[in-house]
Chain A
Amino acid sequence: KAGVTQTPRYLIKTRGQQVTLSCSPISGHRSVSWYQQTPGQGLQFLFEYFSETQRNKGNFPGRFSGRQFSNSRSEMNVSTLELGDSALYLCASSLAGFTYEQYFGPGTRLTVT
């Protein structure tokens, strides 16, 4: 079956702009999580969605938000971009949450200039 897809794969934005990233989970998976990966901070948990509801949230400012649609596809939005937001943003899908293995997408590489 098809894996997790993320679009776009690469993005260059300017400070102050906003960006929306998209994630399509594996068919049948209801949980989608988002992570920020940077060389210095590793993989940081942003939030998890399950059946269109945000179930858990990491320690990120309110500029980072997300949502999940009825078909389990998820979007992540970052407003008022800062240079420090440059990172690889990964989404992961699983059947029902963190007691199940996570399938990661290829990520979106965001560069903020």
Chain B
Amino acid sequence: GQQVMQIPQYQHVQEGEDFTTYCNSSTTLSNIQWYKQRPGGHPVFLIQLVKSGEVKKQKRLTFQFGEAKKNSSLHITATQTTDVGTYFCAGDGETSGSRLTFGEGTQLTVNP
């Protein structure tokens, strides 16, 4: 079945440093979504990428979808303490029978 792998599992940064998490799928995706879950909270939708090679920006966050639609990345510029949480990618496979497969997540901690 479809697998979505995410690295790194943990990332500790100093406030102001950049952060990147990577997501790789075993199969081609029709779309990929990114979510953020704060400690003790529930996943909150950040963005959806649909097109091959797509790049979207939200303030300090930059999201990319690979040309082959099998990988994606989330980059945060100049992290802040409010960025703390776990970032998940979730892929909807083109042939998976329509389900959202989540990566294991990257847990980000930011030291002030």
Contacts and interface: CB of A to CB of B under 8 A. Distances in A.
Contacts of A43: 43, 88, 90, 102, 105
Given A56-B99, A99-B92, A42 B45 contact: no
Contact of A105 (B42, B92, B98): B42
B104 interface: yes
A51 interface: no
A104 B88 CA distance: 13
A90 B42 contact: yes
Given A42-B105, A90-B43, A102 B98 contact: no
A51 B30 CA distance: 23
B48 interface: yes
B43 A98 contact: no
Given A43-B88, A59-B1, A107-B42, A102 B100 contact: yes
Interface residues of A, number: 23
A97 B98 contact: yes
A102 B45 contact: yes
B101 interface: yes
B33 interface: yes
Given A43-B90, A56-B98, A56-B99, 19 more contacts: A33-B100, A43-B43, A43-B105, A45-B99, A48-B98, A48-B99, A55-B98, A90-B42, A90-B43, A92-B43, A99-B30, A99-B92, A101-B33, A101-B48, A102-B33, A104-B42, A104-B44, A105-B42, A107-B42
Interface of B: 1, 30-31, 33, 35, 41-45, 48, 88, 90, 92, 97-105
Which 10 residue pairs of A and B lie closest in terms of their CB atoms, listed nearest first? A43-B102, A101-B45, A104-B42, A98-B92, A42-B104, A98-B100, A104-B43, A56-B99, A45-B99, A106-B42
